[in-house]
Structure formats: C-alpha cells, structure tokens
Amino acid sequence: MSTKIKICGITRVEDAVAAADAGADFIGVNFWQGTPRCVDAATARNIADAVRGRVKVVAVFVDEKREKIIEIAGRIHADYVQLHGAESAEFARSLAPLKIIKAFAVASEADVEQMDKFPADFYLIDAKGGAMPGGTGKRADWSLARHARRFGRIFLAGGLTPDNVADAIAAVEPYAVDTASGVESSPGIKDALRIRRFVENAKGAAQG
C-alpha cells in the first residue's frame, strides 16, 4: 500500500490547491493560536471548500474545549480532528462520532506506551521537546515511531522534508507522512515546488 501524505499547517487556498495538485492525501488546518499557521474558521472553510473531494481535511487543535472542536469541525466539514495537546482518552471519546488523529510526542519507549488504549483512528508520532507542540522542524525518533506501529496506523511527523522523507518511509513504514515546516518558504507559507518534491519523493519510496 502506498504511504499517504499529509501537508499540515495550510493557511492559504493556493497552498491547499498546490498540495492537492501534487497528489497529497490530507491537508491540515490549525486552530491553535500559538502558531503562525493558525487560521480562523472562515479561512479554514474556504481552504477546505477549495479542495473538497480531492483530499481529506484535518482540523488541528491543541487542548481546545470540546464544544469549540465540535463547532469548528462541523462548520468546515472536517474529515478528521487532530488532537495535538495533552487531551485524555476520555476527552477523545467525548468527541464521538468525530474521527480522531491523536498526536504523541515521543522521546522514549514510555512515551510510546501512552498510546495503548487511547481511542483514535490514527496516531501521529512527533518529536518531543521545544515550546511548540509540533511544526518545529525537529526530527522524531524513527526507531520509536516504528515501534509505535503495534498500536495502530501511524502518521510520522517531525522534521520531514523532501530530502529525508524517502529514508523515513524506508525506516518506519508508516501509514502516512506529515510535514508542515518542511515544505515552507516562511512560517505558514508553503512552497509549491517543495510540496511537489515531498510528494514525489514519498510516493517514489512507497513504490520502491
């Protein structure tokens, strides 16, 4: 099966279209105000509508209130909700029937073990450390990410670029790869050429 591709932190319609045109499978729109990739619901709806039916839309939240997650996910018709903070398993269950991607920042086997019994459709493995809960460009531990596959289908994130994504896929064999800063010209602004190279290199690795 080909590795799926997610381009996260989309802030502009043209970047979403570039991701869809390149062959990405998912885009992420971020609602955490602590990142330059944050968008409001109206902008996210325009982004989602521009590529509806071509890619899956993921709404990304960090320790947000349940009511706001449900309201925004419904407003933009998100296919998935990504929980990228310290949300509990009980909180994730309370969001049913929304489909969940739960992010885990891992630096040890103990971090990976936290995935056990957490209710999610997918698990996203990110690098641990730093002030931001993602989008830092710091590389995740690929050996830990590979171990994490025993708990379910994983998205590998953390420092992925067009230059290393093929190696990452070979090492981890994830369900999907996820990049934000790795395909940007500046924070929140994607580079269409880097997106295309990332997708081509990821798909080449999956096929090879």
Q: Is 8 a catalytic residue?
A: yes
Q: Give the pLDDT confidence score for residue 138 in this predicted structure.
A: 76
Q: Give the pLDDT confidence score for residue 207 in this predicted structure.
A: 47
**Alpha helix (H) residue ranges in 60-163:** 66-76, 89-94, 109-113, 142-148
Q: What is the pLDDT of residues 157-203, one digit of tens each?
A: 999 999 999 999 999 999 999 999 999 999 999 999 999 999 999 99
What count of other Cβ atoms lies within 10 Å of the Cβ of residue 14? 14
- Please indicate, yes or no, whether the overall pTM of this predicted structure exceeds 0.85: yes
As a whole number of angstroms, the longest Cα–Cα distance in the chain is 44
Is 3.20.20.70 the CATH classification of the domain at 4-207? yes
Contacts of 14 (CB under 8 A, 6+ apart): 192
| Annotated catalytic residue, options 15, 25, 126, 141 | 126
SS3 content of the chain, % helix, strand, coil (to 5): 40, 25, 40
Q: Is the dihedral of CA 36, 17, 126, 201 positive or negative?
A: negative
SS3 call for 46: helix
| Annotated catalytic residue, options 8, 15, 25, 178 | 8
Cβ 99 vs Cβ 119: under 8 Å: no
Between CA 34 and CA 22 the distance in angstroms is 28
Contacts of 131 (CB under 8 A, 6+ apart): none
* Per-domain residue ranges of the chain: 4-207
